[in-house]
Structure 1
Amino acid sequence: MYIPKGFKLPSSAILATTLSLCLASCNEAKVESPSTENEQNASEFSSVPHEIKNHRDAGEQTGHNHVRKVIPSSEALKKLPADGGSDFNRLVFEQSPYLLQHAGNPINWYPWGEEAFAKARKENKPVFLSVGYTTCHWCHVMEHESFEDDEVAALMNKHYVCVKVDREERPDIDNVYMSVTQMMTGRGGWPMTVIMTPEKVPFFSGTYFPKQSMMQLLPHFSGIWANEREQVFKLGEAITTDLAKLSGGQPGGDLNATHLDACYRSLASSYDGVNGGFGRRPKFPTAHNLSFLLRYYDRTGEVKALRMVEKSLEKIRQGGVYDHVGLGIHRYSTDERWFLPHFEKMLYDQALFAIANLECHQITKKEAYAKAAREIFTYVLRDMTDPEGGFYSAEDADSEGEEGKFYVWTTAELEKTLGKEDATLYARIYNFEPDGNFFEEAANRKTGGNIPHLKQRLKDIAHELKQEIDPLKSKLEGIREKLFVARKKRIHPQKDDKILTDWNGLMISAFAKGGRILNDKHYLEAATKAADYCLTTLRRKDGRLLKRSRLGVAGLPAHLEDYAFLIQGLLDLHESAFQHRHLKAAAELTDITLKHFADAENGGLFLTADDGEKLLVRAKEIYDGAIPSGNSVMALNLLRIARITGSKRYEETANKLFAAFSGFAAKSPSGCDVLMTALDFSVGPSLEIVVAGKRGEDATEQLLGAIHSSFLPNKVLLFRPTDDEKPEIANLAPFVQNQGMVNGKSAVYVCRNQACELPVTTVVQLEKTLAKALGKEK
């Protein structure tokens, strides 16, 4: 438990009970302490299996013979009282699929808002805050065990005002109280459980609690609130003071190339040389680690950095953490081998994993990485794309009351679907066992289900089977399609169909890069449609962004990540499609970000806008976990905008951002490896490349193709159409105005700080000029 320096806990009883409850929670869920050098600052784990609910569309039966109440139509909702009536609580009026999951609980849940806190003040009750997300396995477990239980609900309703928060809609709330949870317990995770005063000051925090612990916790802390109020206030004040100290950035001198070396050494020290990836179990893809290593290899020629990337991508792609039937990557592996996944699928993982594969393909030219990226795109376009163009957030791990049921196969199911011969071949290659390979730890037994996974490269398997590799690949693809068709008939896990601006920005980047690197117009079309969706549906008339959209209803103020990730996506899309509206929007959103999020005095960017809701602290985040931090991504955005426009103020702001977090970067460089990616650009050399010509002409497309196929991470790429005397691009990048074709031929201008080499008109000349500009002449 976190004890503020110099502060004495209110009583030994509070300490003893709190510690016992925290230990009960951690032991039950087998939560492991997060690594500051490896995984995100909090995560929820699935090593203890439970029968849990299937949160599908309203009305479906779960594994506990419970039927979820049907959410009323929009017209019927208008007739309900403000508290939801006898069948629902106030969450029934929300848009979040996670909140709607709890709308039929017997608990009087409130969404986060003044109504709940005013009630707590009026009735002199503490607030019970529960934070989670739609596809969170342990959130489902705690809901069934406690939040659907009448006995627990009676205690909660009697002693507390109960508030539910979707962390994906309100990352600001999650950030603040997850920091508290980590301070108080030394670990974090979801569901997050916080008990706090009506003024939002916490005095107890934890993660998952089974019913037995809840039955102790609820009356205990109600009693503490009633009988030891002064001590509660003192504890809350001490927590708030320490929290403020952690939320302001950590300056510590200038950042330079030595910090890139330190980041590499840190990742190398935690690298799993046997299985790929980093750290111990549970293992997360954190593909941005790999993107940094590719840049480090490009900078230094350190072959080990490239080998770490290649092995990690290969092992992840082979493991059960990859969906070998429906494609796409699951959230994480509960073991070191990437075999046993936590089965939910998150949009951001698809985006980051695709980007790492695309970049590795650029460097190595190996088709396997291009294929892996294409498979991710196939999954996202098929299952995660809204007809209007936006991308959905996630798919659940659970169906029919069981985690992973949708994804595993018995040998009998395999033979029924494929016939004996093909089933025998598939079971051999994908390591099926007659009694299943999916092992339940708690029950200490195999379930009978099999998770498809590879233990060898396919070419080695083909050699053992004495078969040619290409016919075997074709055979397996036909089998995969049969299994996919059969699997579609199963009850599908719930899809979280909200469209989040930040995660869409990441996916736009992935599709934009995929379009240009793989020369596939369909990927560019997907990126363009999603970008235009965000710039219309998720943008207000005053130019500012909204957080999410669902079923055509957009709302909630955007946070730093929404701006940072969408700006990045727009910049990447502009380098692929060269539509000026995307670059113009990126520049406009950058200025809005600096106006409303920048810390002008100390550098860096706050998570929330200057006119946003005031929480305990106004946090600044730099840790790059499962998702990069907004500050890290925005640092590179600012450098790219600076190179495009020639405006020094963007680069100066980026340098202040580096300084604001230099202390953290020095202590934990791989904990902010996306910031290190921005630093790599800043250290340079970085280039501005301008292609002047006419789109569609062979010479122009050949030059663009040569640039797109090369790994040139530290560059901005602009296109100057020569059939326009005053092209729109010159409004933002004036230096391109006088750059044109040479003797009627399309030309490329390679520049550093807008000082350009002589233009070149052939691919061979371009390659030589780039090598010279980057100091890589042979």
Structure 2
Amino acid sequence: MSNRLAAATSPYLLQHRDNPVDWQEWGESAFAEARERNVPVLLSVGYAACHWCHVMAHESFEDEAVAQALNERFVSVKVDREERPDIDAVYMAAVTATTGHGGWPMTCFLTPEGEPFFCGTYFPRDHFLQLVAAVDEAWRTREEEVRASGLHITSALREGLASPEPYAAGLADLDRAVTLLSGQFDSGAGGFGGAPKFPPSMVLEFLLRHHGRTGDDVSLAMADRTLEAMARSGMYDQVGGGFARYSVDAKWVVPHFEKMLYDNALLLRVYAHWWRLGQNPLAEKVARETAEFLLTELRTTDGGFASSLDADTQGVEGLTYVWTPAQLAEVLGEADGARAADLFSVSEHGTFEHGTSTLQLLTDPDDREWFRDVRTRLAQARAKRPQPGRDDKVVTSWNGLAITALAEAGAIFEEPAWVAAAVASANLVLDLHVVDGGLRRASRDGRAGAAAGVADDYGNVAEGLLSLHQATGEARWLTVAGHLLRQARDRFGAEDGGFHDTAADAEQLFLRPRSGADNAEPSGQSAIAVALVTLGALTGDPEAIEAGRRGIDAGMGLARREPRFGGWTLAGAEALAAGPLQVAVVGSGPQAQALARTTHLATSPGLVMVHGAPDSPGIPLLEGRPLVGGNPAAYVCRGFVCDRPVTTPGELSAALSARTP
């Protein structure tokens, strides 16, 4: 046998192609071999930017003694969790059920039929080698007992996979969610809970939407404090823009350094919306820098967006990003170096490891020209350092999030290049990732992977196309989004109105995963549901809105109990509570552009808009909307009931300012 990862599309799998372990990709052939040899399967799941995945690889999977033990007694399977979130989800359920916690690398021992009987995460080399020996001995001497354990685990997980009970959210439930969040809010450092602290992007979106609908000061205060704290923190890259995955401490000082596409897309969107509320210059700074980070660091040659930048550089976490006072002085000179060290909280003692510090910006510089020059010089010097690896596979779902963020932020900040980048990503996804009428999960170097798309791929791409439709006025994006969402309802729909993670015709694992939790990204259920609400508002289709409402209701039980894990569900509920609020701007020229600009800056969470010529083909909101006296006009409709058209930005702003209680 030999290692069989050389032909993989996943950069994570390719990182392991030279291991002495005889790795295989997930597939029937691996399990057939395990059945033929009557040996267990070692399932190892991780992702390219994962620090502890690298550690376990160096300690164990590059070790000849470990490889020999695995090759003789196991079939070893490597899975990229980003390519196969379905596999990750079902086996992570087994890990958390049997150990009480989860994480990556995920390490599971399976029967040849795929049933997990022992699960864990990272194991140091000696512990792992002992574990391998113990599992081998148990399988050879007590196979029936081991199989019974696997059957017990899978049976228990199946029994526990009850469908959530739908809950029809009322306005009081949205108020209650704010109250629960305020009880978990860290008023000093921002964010929710203690260390490690993750950027709560979807919860922040909910809080901004709640304030936009109600004017509530508590929700805005929590969002303000958290967004400012993250923007000034060591988790935000003060030199290159973009956010790290999370902070290992409660004060946002030391990040876990990988940068993920999904985090930065979601955060770009929420910082743009934060700026829209009050034109905070810090919000604009972070939104612009994060957009530029996406375009310069994560954009692929074919117009998509890569998945992540690694946490490690040459095996050292954070090597590219941290500084000492001496290093600042070397780049900037003694005077500017000392001034920069004070501004960025870089000390001799250090805030990270070995006397190094992350860069924080706890106060604004008093000389902005000097600061821009310093930032440029630091960026040039940092570019000469070794750089982290990039996982350049293009994940469908995460590109959908980037399309949404760039389209909306591009419209808000009047940056057509951002909208153009969103268009390029959408074209790539639709040209390459649609195979036999359905979405594939990912591609790399112009080649689509074999894994089928899951629910969040359909929901997030559809939402991105609907945002592009609103930013560009092009009918094709609306048409394709509608097609994808019809597929999503047919293939992922559950009896209670919610959505499974995998399609009915997808590969059958020992569980059919379904999660309503919005964690690092929207759940598949909330992604599809919120996109359906947007689609219904843009097309005037109450049935689509009702389908979205049922999907949101299916997740509201969890969102009511634990709003930190229902941010996108709650954001969708806010859109339902405030809308649909439809704005159709007809006409062209400066007056029409001013009306469209006014609409893009409106803060109602239920608002959708289109801009184009009267009766533009394929755009329902423009049908029967004539010019007024030959001049451009805006038509405002609430709940499909329309006001008289207005022709000036002032009139439109007044019409949009009314809040839904």
Fold agreement, TM-score > 0.5: yes
Preserved CA contact (<8 Å) 1:266 1:670: no
Aligned partner of 1:710 among 594, 599, 602 = 602
In the alignment, which residue of structure 2 is the partner of 1:363? 277
By how many angstroms is 1:105 displaced? 0.6
Q: Does 1:101 align with 2:26?
A: no
Q: Which amino acid aligns with 1:492?
A: Q
Aligned-residue Cα RMSD (Å) equals 1.6
2:372 alignment partner, one of 471, 477, 486: 477
1:749 is aligned to 2:643: no
Q: Is the 8 A contact 2:203 2:566 kept in 1?
A: no
Specify the alignment match of 2:477 in structure 1. 582
Shift of 1:412: 2.5
Residues 193 and 207 in structure 1, CA contact (< 8 A), matched pair in contact too? yes
- Where 1:405 maps in the other structure, the secondary structure is coil
CA spacing shift, 1:175–1:775, aligned 2, 3 Å: closer
Find the residue that maps to 1:203 and give its secondary structure: strand
Are the aligned partners of 1:97 and 1:496 in contact in 2 as well (CA < 8 Å)?
Answer: yes
- Seen in structure 2, the aligned counterparts of structure 1 residues 566 and 253 have a Cα distance that, compared at 3 Å, is closer
The DSSP-based 3-state class of the residue aligned with 2:346 is: coil
1:442-521 superposed matches below 5 A: 447-454=354-361, 456-458=362-364, 469=366, 472-521=367-416
**2:585 alignment counterpart:** 691
Structure 2 CA distance for aligned equivalents of residues 218 and 118 of structure 1: 21
**CA offset at residue 248 of structure 1?**
4.4
Alignment partner, residue 233 of structure 2: 319
Mapped pair 1:758 → 2:644: yes
Using the alignment, how far apart are the partners of 1:123 and 1:291 within structure 2?
52
Q: 2:465 aligns with which of 570, 574, 579?
A: 570
Partner deviation per Cα, 1:258-294 (whole Å, 9 max, x = no partner): 2212221222111111111111100111211111111
1:554-595 per-position Cα deviation (integer Å, ceiling 9, x unaligned): 122111111111111111111111111111111111111112
Correspondence 1:215-226 to 2 at 5 A: 215-226=129-140
**1:377-430 Cα shifts (integer Å, max 9, x gaps):** 111111111122101110011112211111112332222211111111111111
Asked whether the 8 Å contact 2:191–2:197 carries over to 1, the reply is yes
Do the aligned partners of 1:320 and 1:339 also contact (CA within 8 Å) in 2? yes
Deviation by residue 1:297-322 (Cα, 9 ceiling, x = unmatched): 12332212111111111111111111
Question: For 1:665 and 1:427, how far apart are their aligned partners in 2?
Answer: 43
| Structure-2 residue corresponding to 1:236 | 150
Correspondence 1:615 to 2:513: no
User: Distance between the aligned counterparts of 1:356 and 1:661, measured in 2?
Assistant: 22
The CA distance in 2 between the partners of 1:401 and 1:646, in whole Å, is 54
Q: Indicate the residue corresponding to 1:443 in structure 2.
A: none
Aligned to 2:249: 335
* Paired residue secondary structure (2:609): strand
Determine whether 1:172 maps to 2:66: no
In structure 2, do the counterparts of structure 1 residues 490 and 728 end up closer, same or farther at CA, with 3 Å as the change threshold? same
Aligned to 2:288: 374
Equivalence map 1:404-443=2 (5 Å): 404-439=318-353
1:727 aligns with 2:598: no
Question: Unmatched 5+ residue regions in structure 1?
Answer: 1-82, 440-446, 463-468
> What amino acid sits opposite 1:457 in the alignment?
T
Aligned with 1:129: secondary structure?
A: strand
Q: State the secondary structure of the residue aligned to 2:300.
A: coil
| C-alpha displacement of 1:678 | 1.0
Unaligned runs of 5+ in 2: none
Give the secondary structure class of the aligned counterpart of 1:504.
helix
Aligned twin of 1:661: 555
Q: Aligned pair 1:631/2:517, yes or no? A: no
Residue 659 of structure 1 and its aligned partner are, at CA, apart by 4.0
The answer to whether residue 553 in structure 2 is matched with residue 647 in structure 1 is no
Partner of 1:46: none
Contact 2:585–2:612 (Cα < 8 Å) also in 1: yes
Query: Quick check: 1:523 aligned with 2:418?
Result: yes
- Report if aligned partners of 1:247, 1:621 keep a CA contact under 8 Å in 2: no
Where 1:613 maps in the other structure, the secondary structure is coil
Matched-pair contact (CA < 8 Å) for 2:213–2:604: no
2:163 to 244, 249, 252: 249
Aligned partner letter, 1:452: L
Tell me, in whole angstroms, the C-alpha distance in 1 between the residues paired with 2:339 and 2:516: 48
- Is the Cα–Cα contact under 8 Å of residues 248 and 620 in structure 1 kept in the other structure? no
Q: Secondary structure at the residue paired with 1:103?
A: coil
Q: SS state of the match for residue 582, structure 2?
A: strand
Check conservation: 2:46, 2:105, Cα contact below 8 A: yes
Deviations 1:71-129 (Å, cap 9, x if unpaired)? xxxxxxxxxxxx65xxxx10111110000111111111111001110000000001110
CA distance in 1, matches of 2:555, 2:565: 11
Moved more, 234-243 or 583-592: 234-243
| Contact 1:633–1:678, Cα closer than 8 Å, also in 2 | no
Instruction: Encode CA deviations 1:164-218: one digit per residue, 9 max, x unaligned.
Output: 0000000000000111111111100000000110111001111000012112211
Could you tell me whether the CA contact under 8 Å between 2:408 and 2:471 is conserved in 1? Answer: yes
Give a deviation string over 1:316-336, Cα, whole Å, max 9, x none. Answer: 111111111222111111111
Question: Any residues of structure 2 matched to 1:106-255 within 5 Å, and which?
Answer: 106-255=20-169
Identity of counterpart residues, as a percentage? 38
Match of residue 43 from structure 1: none
Q: Partner residue of 2:489?
A: 594
Matched residues in 2 for 1:286 and 1:771: separation?
27
* Corresponding residue for residue 440 of structure 2: 546
Asked if 1 retains the 8 angstrom alpha-carbon contact of 2:189 and 2:229, the reply is yes
| Superposition TM-score, scaled by structure 2 size | 0.97
- The alignment partner of 1:92 has SS state of coil
Note the 1:336-351 alignment, pairs <5 A.
336-351=250-265
For the residues of structure 2 that align with 1:770 and 1:488, how far apart are their CA atoms?
A: 46
Give the SS at the match of 1:204: strand
SS across alignment from 1:750:
strand
Whole-angstrom distance in 2 between the partners of 1:738 and 1:235: 66
Amino acid at match of 2:357: N
Q: Do the aligned residues in 1 keep the contact of 2:501 with 2:514 (CA within 8 Å)?
A: yes
- Please give the secondary structure, in 1, of the residue aligned with 2:77: strand
Quick one: distance in 2 between partners of 1:239 and 1:425?
A: 59
Contact 2:532 2:544 survives alignment (8 Å): yes
Q: Is the 8 A contact 1:264 1:670 kept in 2?
A: no
Structure number, greater radius of gyration: 1
Cα distance in 1 for partners of 2:203, 2:569 equals 11
Q: Say whether 1:305 aligns with 2:219.
A: yes
What amino acid maps onto 1:658 in structure 2?
Answer: I
CA displacement, residues 325-382 of structure 1 (integer Å, 9 cap, x when unaligned): 2221111111111111111111111111111111111111212201110000111111
Instruction: State which drifts further: 411-420 or 163-172.
Output: 411-420
